[in-house]
């Protein structure tokens, strides 16, 4: 056993919003180093959505997709289970790519027992309930019928639609306040109560932080994961709790 794997045992790592693309090789390189230096030997790696900047189907042909699959597969085969939850950018990632990468697909939300603490995992976009326009868009595009139709379109058309969705979301964001695009505290409390969890870990908002929410007299923690644009980082949990680490790429 190497020193790295020895120190990572008893720990689980959580990342989201890496937005990997061939156009940002520094973030990709940082992620691969993270896999080697932090995640190797850990109890589990949870990727909570938006691993990729865009994903138009498991025939996605960016170099970063192939290389990421290879690296994740080798992590999984070395004994660290890798879990993946869809984000709003890569919700079309399916069983074929998950199998190539050795990843287990998780539903959103997923409730896990994390060293004795009932913990809810989410991507985070469904927490932004004040953004009603986005929630309507999400319901439409994530509908099983829409997904079935999308999967049958030629790659070039799927790419074009994804590009349009991204530019549409960019222009919509400029007209929305920061509060509207953040997680709604009421929705956070509702989810923690409904799933009887004491802790929530999510990404999507790109506002890394630790928050405390009172739920029926219990203090619950909410950890928000950082994105991997100018900075990178993760939340690490062990039997003494969680910590957030973020630093410049």
Binding mask 4-43 for Mn ion (x = CB under 5 A): ----------------------------------------
Q: Alpha-carbon distance 13 to 47, whole Å?
A: 8
Q: How many CB atoms lie within 10 A of CB 118?
A: 15
- CB-nearer residue toward Mn ion: 87 or 233: 87
First-last CA distance in the chain: 29
- CB-nearer residue toward Mn ion: 87 or 102: 87
Q: Please report whether residue 88 would count as binding Mn ion according to CB under 5 A.
A: yes
- CB-nearer residue toward Mn ion: 183 or 197: 183
Q: Please report whether residue 227 would count as binding Mn ion according to CB under 5 A.
A: no
Q: Alpha-carbon distance 145 to 159, whole Å?
A: 19
Which range of residues in 37-45, 47-55, 70-78, 238-246 is near Mn ion by CB under 5 A?
47-55
Size of the site for Mn ion (CB under 5 A): 4
Residue of minimal Cβ distance to Mn ion? 204
- Give me the least distance between CB of 229 and Mn ion, in Å please: 12
**Which residue from 87, 102, 208, 226 is in contact with Mn ion, where contact means CB under 5 A?**
87
Q: Alpha-carbon distance 52 to 41, whole Å?
A: 24
- Give me the least distance between CB of 236 and Mn ion, in Å please: 21
Q: Please report whether residue 119 would count as binding Mn ion according to CB under 5 A.
A: no
**Which residue from 19, 60, 199, 204 is in contact with Mn ion, where contact means CB under 5 A?**
204
Q: Please report whether residue 226 would count as binding Mn ion according to CB under 5 A.
A: no
- CB-nearer residue toward Mn ion: 49 or 102: 49
Q: Please report whether residue 50 would count as binding Mn ion according to CB under 5 A.
A: yes
**C-beta of residue 233 within 8 angstroms of C-beta of residue 248:** no
- Give me the least distance between CB of 187 and Mn ion, in Å please: 16
Query: What is the CB-side half-sphere exposure of residue 89 using CA atoms within 13 A?
Result: 22
- CB-nearer residue toward Mn ion: 42 or 56: 56
Q: Interface residues with Mn ion (CB under 5 A)?
A: 50, 87-88, 204
């Amino acid at each position: 056993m190497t020193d790295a794997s020895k120190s990572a045992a008893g720990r689980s790592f959580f990342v989201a919003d890496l937005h990997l693309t061939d156009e940002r090789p520094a973030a990709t390189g940082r992620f691969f180093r993270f896999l080697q230096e932090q995640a190797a030997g850990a109890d589990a790696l949870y990727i909570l959505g938006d691993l990729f900047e865009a994903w138009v189907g498991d025939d996605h042909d960016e170099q970063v997709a192939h290389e990421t699959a290879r690296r994740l597969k080798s992590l999984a085969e070395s004994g660290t289970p890798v879990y993946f939850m869809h984000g709003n950018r890569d919700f079309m990632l399916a069983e074929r790519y998950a199998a190539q990468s050795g990843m287990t697909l998780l539903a959103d939300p997923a409730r896990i027992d994390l060293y004795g603490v009932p913990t809810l995992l989410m991507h985070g976009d469904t927490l932004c309930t004040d953004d009603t326009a986005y929630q309507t868009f999400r319901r439409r595009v994530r509908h099983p019928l829409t997904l079935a139709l999308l999967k049958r379109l030629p790659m070039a058309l799927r790419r074009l639609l994804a590009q349009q969705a991204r530019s549409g979301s960019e222009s919509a964001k400029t007209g929305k306040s920061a509060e509207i695009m953040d997680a709604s505290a009421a929705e956070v409390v509702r989810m923690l109560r409904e799933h009887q969890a004491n802790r929530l870990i999510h990404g999507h908002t790109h506002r890394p932080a630790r928050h405390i929410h009172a739920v029926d007299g219990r203090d619950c923690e909410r950890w928000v994961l950082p994105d991997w644009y100018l900075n990178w980082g993760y939340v690490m949990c062990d039997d003494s709790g969680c910590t957030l680490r973020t630093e410049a790429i």
